[in-house]
Chains A and B, each alone.
Chain A
Amino acid sequence: MLYRTIRCLSLASVLTFASFFTSCTDPVRDRAIERLGEEDPAVPMGPEHRPGQPCVLCHSDGGPASGQPFAIAGTIFKTSSADSEGAADVDVLFIDSNSATRNTTTNAAGNFYIRESEWQDLAFPFKTGVKAQGKDQRPMISTVNREGSCNFCHKPNPGSRYAFPDDDPRESVGQIYSELTP
C-alpha cells in the first residue's frame, strides 16, 4: 500500500514538473509575436514571408520558428516610399567585433538572413552595410549592439502595408532601402 502511494506521488510530482517546464513561455515575446498577426495567405511560409517584420523574434530559441534559427535577418526595400516593394539582389555585409565577416543577398521579397549555424560565434556589436547592384556600398552609421532583427529598429515606414498602426515613429529609423526615392 505504502509502495503504491509513493509511486503515485512520484508520478504526480514528475507530471507537475513536466507541465511546469513545458508551459513556461515568455509572455513579452508571446505578445510581440501575436501582434505580428497571421500569415499573408498569398505568400507561402518560407524565405519570402513576412517582409518588414522582426525575423529573429520567431527564428530563435524558444520562438515558433526555433527549428530554423537566424543570427541576423531583415528586409531591404527598393525605396523609402511607403508603397515600395522589397529590393532583390542587394548584398548585405557584416563585420562583428572579432573582425569576422559574413555576407548575404536579398531574395525577391527583399528579405535576407544569416542562419545561426552559419555564424555561431557572432560577437556583438557588429557593423553592417548594403550594396545594391551597380551602386556604392553604404555602411550603417551606428553599430548593431544586440538585436539580430534589423527590422526591430528599421520598421516599415508609416503607411506601408507592412507597417502596424501602433508603430511609434520615435522608435524606428525607418525601413532600409537601396535607392533614393524617385
Chain B
Amino acid sequence: MTRWTTRLALAAWVTAVGAVAFGNGGCSTPDSGALSRVNLPDRGQFIDQGVSAFMEKRCGALDCHGQIGRPLRLYSGSGLRMADGPKGARDVSATTPAERLANYFAVVGLEPEDITESRDSAGAFTDFLLLKKPLGIDQGGVRHKGGSVLRSTDSGFDCLALWIAGTAENAALKAKCDDGAIQ
C-alpha cells in the first residue's frame, strides 16, 4: 500500500466518523415528555353560548362538515349523529352534550398553536384557518371547498372571532351566534 493510499483511507475514515458524530448530535430523538402550551377558547361558551349551535347550522350540514370523511367533523341533531337511535333508527333528539364536546375538540384541534396565539393576543392574530376558510378567497380568506360562506361583517364571523379572542361576555357572544345562525 502506498503512502498516498494510506492517507486517502485515513481521510475517508476520519470523514465517516465525523459524519456519524455530526448526525447523532444534529438529529436527536424527540423528547417524549415535551408539551406544547395551549391557551384554548372557552369550552363552556362553545357548548352553552351558541358557538356550537351556530356551527352546526351553518357548517355542519350533511353535505358539508357533517360528513364522516371530512376534516373538521361536526355532529348535530339536524346533521351527522354520533350514534344511532333506538333499534338502529336515526337519533332524532337534539344535539347531545357529547356531540357538542366532540365539536369543540374538532374545532380547537384544527390549529391549536395558532388559536393559542390568537387568544394570547386577545384576537389581534387572525391568520388561521378557522377564520379564513369561511371567508373563501373572494372575501380575503383562503380556498374553501364550500366557497365563501361568511363575510367578515357577519354576526356569525363575530361569533367565532369573539369566542376565540375571549373578549365577549356570555350574553353578547350568544346574541352574535344566535343571529349568525339565522342569517
Contact = CB atoms under 8 A, between A and B. Distances in A.
Q: Do A and B bind each other?
A: yes
Contacts of A169: 81, 84-85, 88-91
A172 B62 contact: yes
B83 interface: yes
Taking residues whose C-beta sits less than 8 angstroms from the other chain, chain B's interface range is: 20 to 34
A153 B81 contact: no
A27 to B, nearest CB: 15
Interface residues of A, number: 18
A141 B62 contact: no
Interface stretch (B23-31, B118-126, B142-150): B142-150
B129 interface: no
Interface in A155-182: 158, 169-174
A100 B63 CA distance: 21
Contacts of B64: 145-146
A169 B62 CA distance: 12
Contacts of A145: 59, 61, 63-64, 146, 149
Nearest to B145: A146
Given A125-B149, A158-B89, A174-B90, A146 B63 contact: yes
Interface of B: 57-64, 67-68, 78-85, 88-91, 145-147, 149
The 5 closest A-B pairs by CB, nearest first: A147-B63, A153-B62, A169-B90, A145-B64, A170-B81
29 contacts: A125-B149, A141-B78, A142-B61, A143-B58, A143-B61, A144-B63, A145-B64, A145-B146, A146-B145, A146-B146, A147-B62, A153-B62, A153-B63, A158-B88, A169-B81, A169-B89, A169-B90, A169-B91, A170-B80, A170-B82, A170-B83, A170-B84, A170-B90, A171-B80, A172-B90, A173-B78, A173-B79, A173-B90, A174-B90
